[in-house]
Amino acid sequence: MPSIDLSGKVAVVTGSGRGLGLAYAHALAAHGASVVVNDVDEAVAEQAVKSITEAGGRAVAEVVPVGTTEAAERLVNRAVEEFGRLDILVTNAGILRDKVLWKMTDDDFDAVITTHLKGTFTCARAAAVRMREQGEGGSLILVGSPAGQRGNFGQTNYAAAKAGIAAFARTWSMELGRANITVNAIVPVAATAMTETIPAFAPYIEAMRNGEPLPDFLRKGEGFGTPEDCAALVPFLASEAARGITGQAIGIGGDKVALWSHPQEIKAAYADGGWTPETLADAFPTSVGAELQSVGIPAPKFPEA
């Protein structure tokens, strides 16, 4: 079994004061990486740093909301000033402003796109510049979501941003390949502040917090577990063991890890000389339209009471 050793590596993890981001930061530090913790709340960020250092890791905090070029450069510069380099970027920072389309405001849309999509872009750009200057490769680990892969009711802004992040991974893996910088999207599923608001999950999450294990139908069947379950993927993708993996969307949660497919044509039909609306109406239902794809995140399959 290969050893995952990130000694001498330096990571920036955005949105890592709590939840999944904190789990990613702890996992990287536990495998030897020095970590720049990022959050918008100074007290939360400093507590995260304290928890990492008390566990034997190395970490500092940079308190700034991601989205702007200035914020991205602050994070990269802090890594270089404190630890001398940058090797790993995890773009985890995010917010939610859920509303159905006809009720979503410009501010709701812009806030989520700025944090998730533009924040991933600006941070990745700054990190790529630094990694290319160092000339020793690196890893960009972009945090996606099942909502970005499948769509989700009430999440126009979030789903669009996360779909864009998966597209970033595919595009940047090509652009940064010659620099030996891998780029992958991860698709975590875990008990977080967001998922605990789903009524069907709430009793299981509450039981877990009281020390009871999550049942197998969740951990295996739904791939649903703790943030720490998802965190293992991050140091793996940042390591030499994953140097040949790039441009992928990889899901993890509970006891499950999975590879998501890229969008691709699944069926085609042809008409000599091209199509008209009438020929499409005639042929579509029994050709291409015979395999229309489903949308949305499948509902959890809870056992019958």
Is 145 among the catalytic positions? yes
Would residue 220 count as lying in a domain?
no
Would residue 150 count as lying in a domain?
yes
Identify the active-site residue in 9, 16, 34, 158. 158
Would residue 265 count as lying in a domain?
no
Mean local confidence (pLDDT), 172-192: 96
Whole-angstrom distance, CA of residue 31 vs CA of residue 217 = 30
Would residue 299 count as lying in a domain?
no
What pLDDT, on a 0 to 100 scale, did the predictor assign at position 156? 97
Would residue 218 count as lying in a domain?
no
Task: Give the model confidence (pLDDT) of 280-297 as tens digits.
Answer: 999 999 999 998 999 999
* pLDDT over 70 (residue 56): yes
Q: What is the DSSP string of 15-62?
A: T-SSHHHHHHHHHHHHTT-EEEEEES-HHHHHHHHHHHHHTT-EEEEE
Alpha-helical runs (H) found in the chain: 19-30, 42-54, 69-83, 106-112, 119-134, 146-150, 156-175, 202-209, 216, 227-231, 233-238, 277-283
* pLDDT over 80 (residue 199): no
* pLDDT over 90 (residue 208): no
Would residue 4 count as lying in a domain?
no
What pLDDT, on a 0 to 100 scale, did the predictor assign at position 200? 74
pLDDT band per the 50, 70, 90 thresholds, residue 2: confident
What pLDDT, on a 0 to 100 scale, did the predictor assign at position 194? 66
Task: Give the model confidence (pLDDT) of 79-111 as tens digits.
Answer: 999 999 999 999 999 999 999 999 999 999 999
Collapsed DSSP state (helix, strand, coil) of residue 10: strand
Is 24 among the catalytic positions? no
The parent domain of residue 117 ranges over 10-190+226-260
Is 158 among the catalytic positions? yes
What pLDDT, on a 0 to 100 scale, did the predictor assign at position 129? 98
Where residue 173 sits, what CATH number does that domain have?
Answer: 3.40.50.720
What pLDDT, on a 0 to 100 scale, did the predictor assign at position 303? 78
Mean local confidence (pLDDT), 7-21: 97
What pLDDT, on a 0 to 100 scale, did the predictor assign at position 171? 98
| Domains: count for the chain | 1
Mean local confidence (pLDDT), 31-45: 98
pLDDT band per the 50, 70, 90 thresholds, residue 192: confident
Identify the active-site residue in 145, 173, 204, 239. 145
Identify the active-site residue in 16, 162, 173, 204. 162
Mean local confidence (pLDDT), 217-223: 90
* Mean model confidence pLDDT for the chain: 95
Task: With CA atoms as reference, report the closest residue to 31 among 231, 276, 205, 188.
Answer: 231
Question: With contact defined as beta carbons under 8 Å apart, do 164 and 143 qualify?
Answer: no
pLDDT band per the 50, 70, 90 thresholds, residue 146: very high
* pLDDT over 90 (residue 209): no
Kindly report which listed range (115-124, 225-234, 274-283, 294-303) carries the lowest average pLDDT score: 294-303
What pLDDT, on a 0 to 100 scale, did the predictor assign at position 104? 98
Would residue 296 count as lying in a domain?
no
Would residue 238 count as lying in a domain?
yes
Mean local confidence (pLDDT), 123-138: 98
Alpha-helical runs (H) found in 227-285: 227-231, 233-238, 277-283
What pLDDT, on a 0 to 100 scale, did the predictor assign at position 152? 93
What pLDDT, on a 0 to 100 scale, did the predictor assign at position 305? 58
Mean local confidence (pLDDT), 210-237: 93
Whole-angstrom distance, CA of residue 205 vs CA of residue 155 = 23
